Structures are given as structure tokens and as C-alpha cells.
Structure 1
Amino acid sequence: MNKKTFLPKQDAIERKWHLIDADGKILGRLAVKISELLRGKNKVFYTNHIDCGDFVVVTNASKIVLTGKKLDQKTYFTYSGYPGGAKLTPYSVLMAKSPEKALFVAVKGMLPKNKLADRQITRLKVFKDDKHTHTAQVVASVK
């Protein structure tokens, strides 16, 4: 038998918009769901080397929960490239200052480390409260 693998064309991929309310959700578990939607793993024709993911709009990022002592013990690390340029920010400060960044970093860490991830992460839209600018596009709401 001669079975061929189906590869979807870039024009034929239909991208949906998903709205996720992050109120009371755990950061890591929510990031897993978002990364699966961005990569397109929920689709029948998923292929890991083809970008077939959807758009994701996340609201209420300021109400995301971190379990255990992560709020005090977990840190966000950035490095400028210069000697002594390391910055460690505790998640308690990061969540108070910019909770969108905390979710963005968590999702980005779950995407593949290649050029495909750069295109996929641009389809993630995170908002601090329940107001967002994509009301016309959003059709599906994810629980």
C-alpha cells in the first residue's frame, strides 16, 4: 500500500479566534492550553513543521493564580549581555507590575525554540482586565 501523509497548504488553513478568561486559573496549566491552541495541536491535520495554529485572546491576566509559594520563590530572569547585567525579578513584583508578561513568558517557554514559534507567539493577545480590542474577531470561548 502506498499511503501518503496529508500536508495542509498554508492558504487552506482556517485560523479561529479563541477567547480565554484567566480569572482564577493556574498560570502553568493555562499556558499549556494556550500553547496547544497556538501550535494547532487541537486540529485533525496537525503537523509539527507547519504553522496551523489559531489566535488566542486572554482576558483578566491580573487574576491568574500561582500555587504554593511560587509567588515569593519563583523569579523572572533577564540578562542584558553585559557583565553584571543579570536582573532577577520575583513573581510577586512581576504579577503586580505586569501580569501579561508573566503569562506571555510562560507560553513562550512551551513553544518550540525555532522560527515557527516566532510566528505562533504573535497570535497571542493578553489583556490585564476583561476589556480587549478583538471583539469583532473572537467567535469561540474556551473554558
Structure 2
Amino acid sequence: MKRTSTYFAKASDLPDNWRVIDATGVSLGRLARQVAIALQGKDQPTYTPHVISGDHVVVINASNVRITGRKLMQKMYYRHSGYVGNLKSFMLRDMLEERPERVVQLAVKGMLPSNKLGRHMLRKLRVYAGDQHPHQAQVGNAE
């Protein structure tokens, strides 16, 4: 019986690719799933669990993301400073008006691993409320 070795990609072997994803009319959860898979590199043949093999992702039009059901009124986000009585709560409706980028970023963060690798993957995500972004040069080279 012949033994075959499994290919494990090294960080130096992987190129830095950039993707632009338009969030217009896309459901928040479906968008977050698509972005999380791209950041992890699970859609590439060189996927290696212990190496960041994903692409840089630029999400545009985050303010036009689609929210289904009654989430606008019912979904809450929480933040705590660590001090007694400092739990802050925010409704999804208010977050979408003030900081739509943060809504998409938090949804993607929830779908990434909760370790150092996941935090590093999240640094490769850039979210913009409008359709303009300053990464034209990187995205132009990737395509």
C-alpha cells in the first residue's frame, strides 16, 4: 500500500488576492457566510486549517444590506466596558443608521473561529457603507 502525503500550504506560498463583494439586496446572514468562507479560504483548493489561506475582502454598500423578518426591531447588540452597570445595548435599526459597517463586521466575526487565527482573518476584512473604497489598486491587480 502506497502512502501519500497530505499537502499543507505555507503562508509564503499563498498569494494575496483581493475580492470585492457588493452587499446591495443580499441578506445579512448570507453575506456574512460568503465573506467568512472567503476570509478562511475554504473555497480554494489550497485550504489549510492552521494557515490563513483566505483572500482580502472588501464589502461595499453595507448600508443596503437586506434585513428579513422582525430583526430591525428585535435584534439587539450589547457592549460591556467591564465596570459594574455599564452594559450598553443597541437595536439593529439604530446600528444600521449610524454604523452599517459595524453590523456586517459583527456578523462576519460571529462566523469566524474564536482564536488568534480568526482575529487575524478579521483584519483582512474592509467594510464600507457606500460604493466607494480606497483599495482600487489592490483589487485591480487581483483581477
TM range (shorter): over 0.9
- Alignment match, 2:68: 67
- Alignment match, 2:105: 104
1:125 counterpart letter in structure 2: R
- Alignment match, 2:51: 50
Give, in whole Å, the separation in 1 of the partners of 2:36 and 2:106: 11
Give, in whole Å, the separation in 2 of the partners of 1:96 and 1:9: 41
Where does structure 1 differ by over 6 angstroms across 4 or more consecutive aligned residues? Answer: none
| Identical amino acids, percent of aligned pairs | 42
Please give the TM-score of this superposition, normalised by the length of structure 1: 0.95
1:66 counterpart letter in structure 2: I
1:15 shift after superposition = 2.2
User: What is the correspondence of 1:74-89 to structure 2 with a 5 Å cutoff?
Assistant: 74-89=75-90
User: Which one has the bigger helix percentage?
Assistant: 2
Q: What is the SS of the residue equivalent to 1:41? A: coil
- Alignment match, 2:124: 123
Please give the TM-score of this superposition, normalised by the length of structure 2: 0.95
The alignment covers a number of residue pairs equal to: 141
Give, in whole Å, the separation in 2 of the partners of 1:76 and 1:87: 8
Give, in whole Å, the separation in 1 of the partners of 2:16 and 2:29: 24
Q: What is the SS of the residue equivalent to 1:110? A: coil
1:82 shift after superposition = 1.0
Does 1 or 2 have the higher relative contact order (CA < 8 Å, sep 6+)? Answer: 1
1:10 shift after superposition = 1.2
1:94 counterpart letter in structure 2: M
What are the Cα deviations for residues 74-100 of structure 1, in whole angstroms up to 9, with x where unaligned?
Answer: 001111111111111000000000000
What are the Cα deviations for residues 12-59 of structure 1, in whole angstroms up to 9, with x where unaligned?
Answer: 101211011111111111000000000000110211111111000011
Q: What is the SS of the residue equivalent to 1:20? A: strand
Q: What is the SS of the residue equivalent to 1:77? A: strand
Give, in whole Å, the separation in 1 of the partners of 2:28 and 2:56: 19
Q: What is the SS of the residue equivalent to 2:89? A: strand
- Alignment match, 1:35: 36
1:2 shift after superposition = 1.2
Give, in whole Å, the separation in 2 of the partners of 1:65 and 1:75: 17
Give, in whole Å, the separation in 2 of the partners of 1:14 and 1:42: 15
Q: What is the SS of the residue equivalent to 1:138? A: helix
1:112 shift after superposition = 0.2
